[in-house]
A and B are shown apart, each in its own frame.
Chain A
């Protein structure tokens, strides 16, 4: 659906995007992560045809893509990070959406507008001037505008920034629902906890290079240095942590109230062996679970010093 080959953007001597190769299949929710200045926006702008690549190739819908391809641009919906403020202030939300519906020559535009406004919870304000909308309402209006023409790909740049928790849930549900209907969704966001909830695959860009790209679970597993098993016990004997440390597969162990925290290597599943050992010690494990690395934790493990260690995790070599 979205493919890039050696996509590069240089501004003078500065390389903002360096030979990035993406291959995003249809129907996927794809997260695009990176710190500020990593090359995220430049990559997205090239994919949208707003910025011309210095080198490389972009293919959308299996066809070569360039800004001239207005026909392909019709199949893309875009939610920018910020809705333009101070423009079209005389329009109501409906008139604003009608303008875009007309640009896309949509049939039965009002029906579609009503349906989408209902879905994002803006049905009551659709005939109000959108210049009076809050940031969150503008963000939802922006999503409605992007979905108006039923695009095959939806690009979302920081889609939940400025939204209250209820708004975040509405947008998250909308993204998941749109994806269930077969839409490919490309999200760029700093709110990693949300990315973790919705994305099936993520890519991490750093210094213009694609450093890692994988399915969410595999990526987290790869980036994790070790794993922690948490065991809740009826009682936690004082010497248990020291005894557990002596086991072959245990790297470290500690007790916290009635929970035993055991660090194990990231390869292999040691829960069964640990349970068996505890039962042999006449202890009753109430629950045993593995604490997984969050995307946020994984993301902060990548920095300038260790970036080369992560290079090649499904991304660039």
Chain B
């Protein structure tokens, strides 16, 4: 094992242990699972003789209207066509995704500022082994949570006589790879900045930017937003992980498995490119704040 790989392994072990003994990860998981429970229970209460009718549940009505407003009715129909689980998956995944991504970005900035990162690089570690360790930790913690969420929703499905449809499983897999790219962008934001606050601002700005771009590809109510985002989307959609997520989910609906796996592969390629740029940025900017 070369020195960078060894340093990455040593640091990753510490980061994983640290995450497992701190309350943040469990709080995010609890929030995600409570949201999952509320959404599944709310869905069950909004079923009448004609099937799911989100207007029967005030919370779902609000969610439904907002989603139709942002993404269009077709999107919302597809989202709920297999029951509550697809929507629940995305919502219940968000707290853990954001917790892991933002805490890593915050930590990177803090360690740079107080000199901890510099201290590690006095030895055989370097900035790259440090961020790879954080990425490994985030990937592992994400995988654990997705398994927990899957088990939770399987139990909820059985309890309510509902099944998890194929779109759920496709989305579950692609969400895992999507999260890797989002973590890579977190590292990129950290490598560009000197402290936690600016790193988080850049990272959240990037996420918002990607969301706006992907919104442009759906039928949105506001023509202004559509026009604005479609221009951006054509130019820079290639750097957005949400583009590949959307692509993979669209093609899998028509049974194009090849393109589905291509979408996953492209997410991995994008992650690798973003990490490589981060590596170069850290090399150029150094590990001192």
Contacts and interface: CB of A to CB of B under 8 A. Distances in A.
B138 interface: no
Interface centre among B6, B114, B122 (most CB of A within 10 A): B122
A105 interface: yes
Contact of A52 (B4, B11, B120, B286): B286
A80 B114 contact: no
A309 interface: no
B123 A73 contact: yes
14 contacts: A49-B121, A70-B3, A70-B4, A70-B124, A70-B126, A73-B122, A74-B124, A80-B118, A86-B110, A90-B22, A103-B124, A103-B125, A104-B123, A104-B124
B111 A87 contact: yes
B14 interface: yes
A149 B123 contact: yes
B69 interface: no
Contacts of B125: 103
A243 B287 CA distance: 66
Given A51-B288, A78-B119, 20 more contacts: A50-B118, A50-B122, A50-B286, A50-B288, A70-B124, A71-B3, A73-B123, A76-B122, A77-B122, A78-B122, A80-B118, A80-B119, A84-B114, A84-B119, A87-B116, A88-B116, A100-B123, A103-B120, A103-B123, A103-B124
A10 interface: no
Interface string B1-13: 0011011001100
A230 B6 CA distance: 62
Contacts of A87: 110-111, 114, 116
Interface in A100-151: 100, 102-105, 146, 149
A8 B121 CA distance: 22
> Considering residues B11, B123, B125, which has the most beta carbons from chain A within 10 angstroms of its beta carbon?
B123
Interface of A: 45, 48-52, 67, 70-71, 73-74, 76-78, 80, 82-88, 90, 99-100, 102-105, 146, 149
A179 B11 CA distance: 31
A90 B22 CA distance: 9
Contacts of B286: 50-52
B22 to A, nearest CB: 8
B18 A74 contact: no
Chain A binding surface, main DSSP class: loop
Contacts of B116: 84, 87-88
A100 B118 CA distance: 13
Contacts of B22: 90
Contact of B7 (A51, A103, A149): A103
Contacts of A45: 288
A110 to B, nearest CB: 16
B21 interface: yes
B24 interface: no
B115 interface: yes
Nearest to B123: A103
B123 A84 contact: no
A146 B286 CA distance: 21
B197 to A, nearest CB: 15
B288 A85 contact: no
B150 to A, nearest CB: 30
Nearest to A41: B288
A104 B124 CA distance: 7
Contacts of B115: 80, 82, 84
A45 B110 CA distance: 20
Contacts of A146: 122
B124 A50 contact: no
Contact of B14 (A50, A74, A99): A99
Contact of B121 (A50, A77, A86, A100): A50
A92 to B, nearest CB: 13
B288 A74 contact: no
A90 B4 contact: no
Contacts of B10: 99, 102-103
Contacts of B122: 48, 50, 73, 76-78, 80, 146
A50 B21 CA distance: 32
A77 B118 CA distance: 13
Nearest to B18: A90
Contacts of A100: 123
Given A73-B124, A80-B119, A86 B114 contact: yes
A139 to B, nearest CB: 13
A83 B116 CA distance: 8
Contacts of B121: 49-50
